[in-house]
Homo-oligomer: A and B are copies of this chain.
Amino acid sequence: MTRKEQVFDVAIRKMRETGFLGTSVRDIAAELQIEAASLYNYFQSKEDILVKTCFDLAEKLQNGLDEVNDIYFNAAEKLEKAVKNHISIIVEDTNKSHVFLHEWRHLSEEKKNTFIGLRDKYEQGFKQIVEEGKSEGQFQEIDTKFAVLTILSSLNWVLEWYKPNGTMSAEQIAKQLYNFVLLGLKKERLQ
């Protein structure tokens, strides 16, 4: 782990704990036992850390989703793999994921708009899968936006209680969530 990685690691953890605005550069420096001014050898501004975290994770999620869409053809299968992709990425580094999910609104106006664009694109990918499932007759005729936002909310909530050393692996969580939450979507399971 390079010194730069150490700095980012501490900064992101602090931002997860007390928010972007609640974390001063002096807080970060104190934990690293150096002076605040010294941090500027590792980043140009405090916002850099937020920018990198938000955009890195957005890219990772999108790449995973694109891959799922390339490989699989069946909507139900696509959805299952998309769920697994999402969960495996966000539980990989829960601090980063928290910052990505909750602190992006403190990006500068321009960066924020770009970020929202990426998020919309990602949601669009899920919507397309649900639409496919509906037109193929695999999924029930539920409102697409409603279904997608409910699915993603359930997936993201995993962060609130996922413990890396807990009893469930990321794989098991993905399976359980898929069975539990997405049961409502499958047609043959409806009354």
A residues within 8 Å of B by Cβ? 18-19, 21-22, 102, 105-106, 142-143, 145-147, 149-150, 152-154, 156-157, 160-161, 176-177, 179-181, 183-185, 189-191
Contact = CB atoms under 8 A, between A and B. Distances in A.
A191 B19 CA distance: 43
A149 B160 contact: yes
Copies of this chain per assembly:
2
A157 B146 contact: no
Contact of A184 (B19, B149, B156, B183): B183
A153 B18 CA distance: 21
30 contacts: A18-B105, A19-B19, A19-B21, A19-B105, A21-B22, A22-B106, A102-B102, A142-B180, A143-B176, A145-B161, A146-B161, A146-B176, A149-B160, A149-B161, A150-B154, A150-B157, A150-B177, A150-B180, A150-B181, A153-B153, A153-B154, A153-B156, A153-B157, A154-B181, A180-B184, A183-B184, A183-B189, A189-B189, A189-B190, A189-B191
